[in-house]
Structure 1
């Protein structure tokens, strides 16, 4: 028993040490991200195509399209392309109402599945294929964007980068479950921003992602991952950054708001889908995989301590140190992105992590999740 405990403690200390190094790296990256807003200069206004694939988003789409109408970017340099992926509600009707009213709006109606590519990637590919912009900017149908979104994200390309990721945050007011999701998503966003701040383009969200169309074509679009159900955003960030460089836009004026899920099952299913993408990292981003493994081992070790009832001073110190490091990341990310962080909810999130991370890791490896067919 004691031999196993010594091994467990040793493994935990090693994993915690590796985890600490990564967290320090992320904090360094976050501190390098300038908080000053980046607006597109008058001399730099490239053509931009906002592209999105939607399916049965009639409840949310109208608000997003109104946001896009209100953008402060030159209208003659901006087009919006919405691909309707076989919706069965009023989504296509909403799209056509905007395409009829605004000349820079375009709709693509997908009526059947592709036998060469998974549905969302196929819908996005169809939209991108007709895009005239030199820069592709993507979001999701259930998001909201500020009027400065396009100009802020495009401003990053003045630094001659290939792909730009931006902040996304969960829109919520007071419901505890929604506040928990905001903290959880902010932790992911902040860690990713910190990684990109020191030059590691590992991940990001398709809710707020921009890239040059020429580089999208250079990496052969989505064809290398045509059969993968999810992970198109991570693939684009990793592949395009290798040929054109990547950066993170810390400007709150370029941040996107997304809706929280309302049920625990929806939340778990969403996180399983995200965790399933980690299986491919050993092939492309080994240091990203090392980080993910360190997070997993630390939390599994803490969970085993709880299950075995071993509440030693070492266990308590490790957990407190872990919470402190994660708090620095989350609060720094919240400060940069102007995302409010509730301390009691953060503490609850920190406690739940001990069970949540091991569970999501196992379920993610299984790859069993449901998504829009």
Structure 2
């Protein structure tokens, strides 16, 4: 029992520290550019015929000089009409280029391989990377680029999912919650992570790693690239602001969501130990709390759960306010049970002796 009491004491102490830091350490971001350099937007697409148009239309709406944009799209051997859809969209847009990628460069595989090909084609010093199912905001380029200084290698925006279903809302809450926890740490100027669907990497930082073709393969290629950039003593910036909030299409069902989470869990080895410790601490809540009822009074037992939900909901509300998102109280309560199920199911999926399936490919 003593161990469990210590665990809950540590959990709530860490929670209060996180909440306090989030309230006190609200970073101000540079918002104006004095010059508008040429930038390259790199998009890897595999079987995205139903989603890539929303991505390309959002890029068309960017608030950045058209003659300073270079959009490079890599069709990753799609088996649907992705290439045809893209070619039709860009036929009268000379600043777009679409190539089909069929060969591997060095160690690169999958999305990392496509990005490696596109990086070789890019002619600017700034690589903006997003996914084919992502809708970026109009100010995306300007605000991300405004954070770049000589020692900055990667700038990361914030992403969540959008959709009308409760299932979509719960996924959105999950993204905002996780990214909020990451932001608390990055606001302390500690390196944590990047997201390959909403990132800027300078050519200098990318080439310092040798590029994806020289980086050991990882199914979470963005986390591995980030790790290699930090190893080379570049600094990074994470922006938690509405101006760089990108929207992704949600997982359509629980099976697809679990495969996504299993892939993400592979990336845990690439995040710093202090961030991994935070997630492990929170993931242990239910395995320790559930059998705790045998040792304490019902009032204390249920009080722990209520306190956990109350803190979590308050933190998520604060995160959502910063990016002008709204979640109802009942959605936040439902999210608690959604997260409990998703956490247990994700662990089961992770230990299953089967290959990860992603974008119709299997990975060991």
TM-score of the superposed pair, with normalisation by structure 2? 0.88
Structure 1 residues 302-313: aligned runs within 5 Å: 302-305=289-292, 312-313=298-299
Distance in 2 separating the partners of 1:23 and 1:226: 38
Does the CA-based 8 Å contact 1:300-1:358 persist in structure 2? no
From 34, 40, 51, the equivalent of 2:32 is 40
From 272, 278, 281, the equivalent of 1:285 is 272
Deviation at 1:346, TM superposition (A): 0.6
Structure 1 residues 252-263: aligned runs within 5 Å: 252-263=242-253
Deviation at 1:312, TM superposition (A): 3.1
Deviation at 1:118, TM superposition (A): 2.0
RMSD: 2.6
Whether 1:234 aligns to 2:234 is no
**Cα pair distance change 1:305/1:349, threshold 3 Å:** farther
Equivalent position of 2:211 in the other structure: 221
Where is the helix percentage greater, Structure 1 or Structure 2?
A: 1
Deviation at 1:11, TM superposition (A): 5.4
Whether 1:108 aligns to 2:99 is yes
Equivalent position of 2:240 in the other structure: 250
**Cα pair distance change 1:158/1:77, threshold 3 Å:** farther
From 320, 329, 334, the equivalent of 1:348 is 334
Moved more, 47-56 or 87-96: 87-96
**Cα pair distance change 1:274/1:65, threshold 3 Å:** same
Deviation at 1:294, TM superposition (A): 1.0
Q: Residue deviations 1:142-174, cap 9 Å, x none?
A: 11122222112212215852211111121123x
Equivalent position of 1:364 in the other structure: 350
Does the CA-based 8 Å contact 1:53-1:120 persist in structure 2? yes
In structure 1, list runs of 5 or more residues that go unmatched.
1-5
**Cα pair distance change 1:361/1:14, threshold 3 Å:** farther
Whether 1:205 aligns to 2:195 is yes
Look up the SS of the partner of 2:305 in the other structure.
helix
Look up the SS of the partner of 1:352 in the other structure.
helix
**Cα pair distance change 1:227/1:161, threshold 3 Å:** closer
Equivalent position of 1:12 in the other structure: 7
Structure scoring higher RCO (CA < 8 A, sep ≥ 6) equals 1
Does the CA-based 8 Å contact 2:107-2:214 persist in structure 1? no
Deviation at 1:365, TM superposition (A): 5.0
Distance in 2 separating the partners of 1:355 and 1:93: 40
Deviation at 1:112, TM superposition (A): 4.7
